[in-house]
């Protein structure tokens, strides 16, 4: 696993955006797996700047997002659909029909099966990931089987507490989500995981040095041949679980 230490979020964003740029330029039909959360925000900002400076064209890009809250309408300000539109999709020339997001409303079980079929026929060239403080990737919480594909999951209290900063109260944070499974994530040719801050240090230490275990879902990445971890010094400390 390659580890790249960066000084701040902006540097991480510029670094990862440049890798994405190369992936887009190297393929006639690039397929990207995208993530939400604070970690990739700077990356999207740099991608938008590249597009505005005519350095990057999203015309032929196809995207698949990792996850979505269950029961949240796409127009809700905390839906991941809303997040992606705000930070990337509405600001570049991507074809809306090439954007794929799991749906958190309607017949979610059926839609998650359909999403999984699409993922299985359209492999990602690059998957961007963040990491939860408990070691989750996408919304695959501790205990999720490594073989798991797209599914509906009940969120850990820790995850809901971490994400409550985006809502008014903890009660407003959905209790469930639809997420790509760990098997779907592993299907990508290349994976980049971005993390910053001391709250991620325990999970990063487990990922880099811990035993591979379903108790820390991110440790499945130890088996992937092309993973890069982009972290700051705070996330690189060998912290204990709090």
Q: Does 232 bind ligand GLP (CB under 6 A)?
A: no
Q: Which residue is nearest to ligand GLP (CB)?
A: 130
Classified as helix, coil or strand, 92 is coil
> Does the active-site annotation cover 141?
yes
Q: Does 79 bind ligand GLP (CB under 6 A)?
A: no
The smaller minimum CB distance to ligand GLP, of residues 131 and 183, is found at: 131
> Does the active-site annotation cover 122?
no
Q: Cα 228 to the chain's mean position, in Å?
A: 14
Q: Does 159 bind ligand GLP (CB under 6 A)?
A: yes
CA distance 74 to 96: 14
Q: Which long-range contacts (CB under 8 A, 24 or more apart) does 168-174 make?
A: 174/69, 174/70, 174/71, 174/72, 174/104
CA distance 122 to 220: 21
| Beta carbons within 10 angstroms of residue 167's beta carbon | 14
- Considering only residues 9, 163, 188, 206, which one is a binding residue for ligand GLP as defined by CB under 6 A? 163
Q: What is the nearest approach in angstroms of ligand GLP to the Cβ of residue 132?
A: 5
Q: Does 38 bind ligand GLP (CB under 6 A)?
A: yes
Q: What is the nearest approach in angstroms of ligand GLP to the Cβ of residue 31?
A: 18
Q: Does 35 bind ligand GLP (CB under 6 A)?
A: yes
> Does the active-site annotation cover 149?
no
Q: Does 104 bind ligand GLP (CB under 6 A)?
A: no
C-alpha angle with apex 195: 116 to 122, nearest 5 degrees?
A: 20
Q: What is the nearest approach in angstroms of ligand GLP to the Cβ of residue 227?
A: 15
Q: Does 138 bind ligand GLP (CB under 6 A)?
A: yes
The smaller minimum CB distance to ligand GLP, of residues 61 and 138, is found at: 138
Contact 204, 229 (CB under 8 A): yes
Cα–Cα separations (whole angstroms), residue 142 to 47, 59, 165, 229: 32, 37, 21, 20
Q: What is the nearest approach in angstroms of ligand GLP to the Cβ of residue 164?
A: 11
- Considering only residues 15, 67, 83, 203, which one is a binding residue for ligand GLP as defined by CB under 6 A? 67
> Which of the residues 141, 149, 162, 232 is marked catalytic?
141
Strand order in the sheet with 67-69: 67-69, 176-179, 151-154
Which residues sit opposite 177 in a β-bridge? 69, 153
Q: Does 131 bind ligand GLP (CB under 6 A)?
A: yes
β 176-179/151-154 pair status: antiparallel
Q: Which residues bind ligand GLP (CB under 6 A)?
A: 35-39, 66-67, 130-132, 138-139, 159, 163
Q: What are the catalytic residues? A: 67, 134, 136, 141
């Amino acid at each position: 696993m390659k580890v790249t230490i960066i000084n701040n979020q902006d540097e991480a964003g510029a670094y990862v955006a440049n890798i994405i740029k190369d992936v887009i330029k190297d393929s006639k039909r690039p397929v990207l797996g995208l993530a939400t959360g604070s970690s990739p925000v700077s990356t999207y900002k740099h991608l938008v700047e590249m597009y505005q400076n005519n350095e990057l064209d999203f015309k032929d890009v196809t995207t698949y997002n990792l996850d979505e809250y269950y029961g949240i309408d796409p127009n809700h300000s905390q839906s991941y659909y809303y997040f992606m539109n705000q930070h990337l999709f509405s600001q570049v020339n991507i074809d809306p029909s090439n954007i794929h997001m799991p749906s958190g409303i309607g017949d979610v079980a059926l839609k998650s099966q359909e999403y999984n079929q699409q993922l299985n026929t359209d492999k990602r060239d690059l998957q961007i990931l963040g990491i939860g403080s408990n070691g989750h990737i996408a919304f695959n919480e501790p205990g999720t089987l490594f073989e798991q594909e797209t599914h509906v999951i009940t969120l850990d209290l820790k995850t809901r507490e971490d994400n409550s900063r985006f809502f008014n109260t903890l009660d407003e944070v959905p209790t469930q989500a639809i997420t790509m499974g760990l098997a779907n994530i592993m299907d990508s040719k290349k994976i980049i995981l971005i993390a910053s801050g001391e709250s991620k240090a325990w999970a990063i230490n487990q990922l880099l040095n811990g035993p591979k275990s379903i108790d820390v879902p991110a440790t499945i990445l130890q088996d992937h041949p092309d993973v890069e971890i982009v972290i700051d010094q705070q996330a690189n400390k060998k912290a204990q679980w709090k």
